[in-house]
Amino acid sequence: MSTPVIEAPGRAPAPQKRVGGGLLDPRQLIASLPAALAKLNPVHMWHNPVMLIVEIGAVFSTVLAVAGPSFFAWAIVVWLWLTVIFANLAEAVAEGRGKAQAATLRAAKRDTTARRLVNRADPDRWEGVGAPELRQGDFVVVEAGEIIPGDGDVVEGIASVDESAITGESAPVIRESGGDRSAVTGGTKVLSDRIIVQITQKPGESFIDRMIALVEGANRQKTPNEIALNILLAALTIIFLVATVTMQPLAIYSKADNPGIPDSLALNGNGVTGIVLVSLLVCLIPTTIGALLSAIGIAGMDRLVQRNVLAMSGRAVEAAGDVSTLLLDKTGTITLGNRQASEFVPTPGVSADELATAAQLASLADETPEGRSIVVYAKQAYGLRERQPGELAHAEWVQFTAQTRMSGVNVDGRRVRKGAATAVMKWVRDHGGHPTDEVGAIVDAISGSGGTPLVVGEAVDGRARVLGVIHLKDVVKQGMRERFDEMRRMGIRTVMITGDNPLTAKAIADEAGVDDFLAEATPEDKLALIKSEQQGGRLVAMTGDGTNDAPALAQADVGVAMNTGTSAAKEAGNMVDLDSNPTKLIEIVEIGKQLLITRGALTTFSIANDIAKYFAIIPAIFAAVYPGLDALNVMRLASPQSAILSAVIFNALVIVALIPLALRGVRYRPSSASKLLSRNLYLYGLGGVVVPFIGIKTIDLLIQFLPGMA
């Protein structure tokens, strides 16, 4: 018994708003400040050892400032806390940039009532249930104007679907049962027709649920490279911690022989104060990269989201930067996926217009993409009026079957057939005709070029003949050759994978401009090829959309599944391209390389910073004890107190100054590794030395007249 449907009110979710990817907005800083303060919790700071040390130092300095208050002590305390807050602010801003995306996605998670089938065999018997009550294996019926209640596969019917809530694109897409375009996503809207969907998700684990968690960074795991860099930073921190601690006994010994050390630097008259030691430690350890490291990783994934690519892990983004081999599925990836009519080749004695008229007539009732393309091509290339099957009232339409391998029409004493070459030529012979050798030559030429030949024949008054051949072509997507040329410049080898025969595969490969191809490929062949490449030390990326691509997508270092593909493909890959544009992989690789370069550049800048800080703080502390060290005070800073406070202030401000670069990323230009290294060393290594000298000196000039700076 049917149950009325209670439709969720409102329109389909609006397209996603793109989040800017570059400059830092002051309003964004203010909005992210509460999250930055919440991250002061030591439980959170534990995951960032460098900044945890800074926070402990800030707490220790606060206690000392309370015990022995002075303007200098409290100024240092304030800027130490600001250093920690600015570090958390960088991470909070990076996370906040995904919240707009997540908010839009949540709008797609509306309270939807689903029509769950009571009996799969009877689509008219259904019951109304809430979308959260759906389980894997349930079948639901969705009609025009209704929201698809959960992720699944279309098992019956074909419909136009609005996926703007997911992809941001307003153009609807076609989803149909069978093939590789059957997957649908919960929260999208059916615009036409009626489909039956089998639910494939578990409750709370829908595609949108996972997207929300990922764009908000809740499930972002550190990558191996990031973990290794954290270990390096922690090791440097420990080394500087030991070095700083050993300065206290040295200072106590020096104080005994040099009572002229300024009291503001002394602790009970017996050495360098704890506040100064903390300042020295904070300025020497790599706080800049320690503060920005997490933001760089989050921003890398966010840049992918802005390009409608969902990365399931930071590891995949990082691996994309080192990819050297790219495997692409031909159908739907390099080509449009639907063979289209590109030429009518008539036999001798038959005019092109005559062949076009017969081809169009035989295709009027053919609803396949190939059949529709023949009708459209006849109209566009030969100016034939597009007719409808209903206009031929007495026509007898012959449907295509696997046994006959041809289709056509019988009308007004004329029989027209269109189909496989062998089938149509046999039909012509059976009806008294004699196909000429020219037909076989035309068929062989089209097959050799990678196309699909369809022969058109007719029988009138007991005489049958072949009119010509339709050339169906698997059309390469526009701009593919240019894209592959760009990949080649990036040092990436492209391999096309297809189930076509070698002749067809070679023709498509040559037209598209790929480096190599694998023809007549089975899922096992794809998997073997990926393993072979990986055993050679190469990182492999693959795009695909079909269930048969799933094993290879799972094995690849970077597996990019098309959103139009099957659920199995999307589950197997570690990235999903929401636009289903295989050329997007170039952008993915560029973002991966940009992530690695940005991390390396800021690490270089951070470590180079220490050189200037050495020249600022070490002479300030010990010049009074060892006058020879005054020669290292190349910046001619006003006083030891001013030098130390200037270095601490610069150390905090440089974090904020570098947040836009961490979020936007260092610009990637295709070039060799040696050139990239040289550029980083010159720009960020040398810059990391020069900028602190300028910054610290400028701050010193501004604060030298403050109380306690003399």
Read off the pLDDT of residues 548-557 as tens digits, 9 standing for 90 and up. Answer: 778 888 888 8
Asked about 329 being catalytic, the answer comes back as: yes
Residue 79 confidence class, pLDDT cut points 50, 70, 90:
very high
DSSP for 559-597 reads EEEETTS-HHHHHHSSEEETT--TTHHHHHHHHHHHHHH
Task: Report how far apart, in Å, the C-alpha atoms of 8 and of each of 104, 153, 527 are.
Answer: 17, 22, 44
Highest mean predicted confidence (pLDDT) among 65-69, 116-120, 215-219:
65-69
Q: Read off the DSSP letter of residue 148.
A: P
Q: Are 275 and 59 in contact (CB under 8 A)?
A: no
Average pLDDT over residues 486-505: 81
Residue with token string 């002061």? 40
Q: Quick one: pLDDT at residue 463?
A: 86
Read off the pLDDT of residues 641-678 as tens digits, 9 standing for 90 and up. Answer: 888 899 899 999 999 888 888 888 888 776 666 677 77
Binding-site annotation: residue ranges for ATP: 366, 370, 400-407, 418
Least confident of 384-388, 479-483, 677-681: 384-388
The percent of residues in the chain predicted with pLDDT above 90, rounded, is: 8
Q: Quick one: pLDDT at residue 222?
A: 60
Task: Report how far apart, in Å, the C-alpha atoms of 137 and of each of 120, 340, 508 are.
Answer: 11, 36, 39
Residue 520 confidence class, pLDDT cut points 50, 70, 90:
confident
Q: Quick one: pLDDT at residue 212?
A: 60
Taking the C-alpha atoms of residue 392 and residue 368, their distance in angstroms, rounded to an integer, is 20
Structural domains of the chain, with CATH: 26-97+219-303+591-704 (no CATH), 113-149+151-200 (2.70.150.10), 309-334+477-578 (3.40.50.1000), 336-475 (3.40.1110.10)
- Which residues are 559's β-sheet partners? 542
Read off the pLDDT of residues 152-184 as tens digits, 9 standing for 90 and up. Answer: 888 888 888 877 655 555 557 788 887 667 788
H and E: helices and strands count for the chain? 24, 22
What the block records as the tokens of 58 is 């800030």
Q: Quick one: pLDDT at residue 74?
A: 92
Least confident of 342-351, 388-397, 428-437: 388-397
What the block records as the tokens of 522 is 């089975």
Torsion, Cα of 417, 419, 420, 423 (10° steps): -30
Q: Which is the catalytic residue, given 153, 162, 180, 329?
A: 329
Q: Quick one: pLDDT at residue 394?
A: 79
Between 271 and 575, name the one with better pLDDT.
575
Find all residues with CB under 8 Å of 163, minimum gap 6, and list them. Answer: 169, 172, 173, 185, 188, 563
Binding-site annotation: residue ranges for Mg(2+): 545, 549
Taking the C-alpha atoms of residue 405 and residue 407, their distance in angstroms, rounded to an integer, is 7
Q: What is the pTM of this model?
A: 0.64
Is the pLDDT assigned to residue 29 strictly greater than 90?
no
At 427, which amino acid appears?
Answer: W
The upper half-sphere exposure of residue 463, i.e. CA atoms within 13 Å in the direction of its Cβ, equals 2
Q: Quick one: pLDDT at residue 231?
A: 84
Is the pLDDT assigned to residue 612 strictly greater than 70?
yes
Mean per-residue pLDDT over the chain, rounded:
78
Strand order in the sheet with 323-329: 309-311, 575-577, 558-562, 539-544, 323-329, 493-497, 516-518
Average pLDDT over residues 64-73: 86
Residue 98 confidence class, pLDDT cut points 50, 70, 90:
low
The percent of residues in the chain predicted with pLDDT above 70, rounded, is: 81
Average pLDDT over residues 491-519: 84
Read off the pLDDT of residues 687-701 as tens digits, 9 standing for 90 and up. Answer: 888 898 899 889 989
How many residues in total does the chain contain?
Answer: 710
Neighbours of 270 (CB within 10 A): 11
Q: Quick one: pLDDT at residue 644?
A: 86
Q: Quick one: pLDDT at residue 681?
A: 79
Q: Quick one: pLDDT at residue 180?
A: 63
Binding-site annotation: residue ranges: 366, 370, 400-407, 418, 545, 549
Taking the C-alpha atoms of residue 50 and residue 60, their distance in angstroms, rounded to an integer, is 16
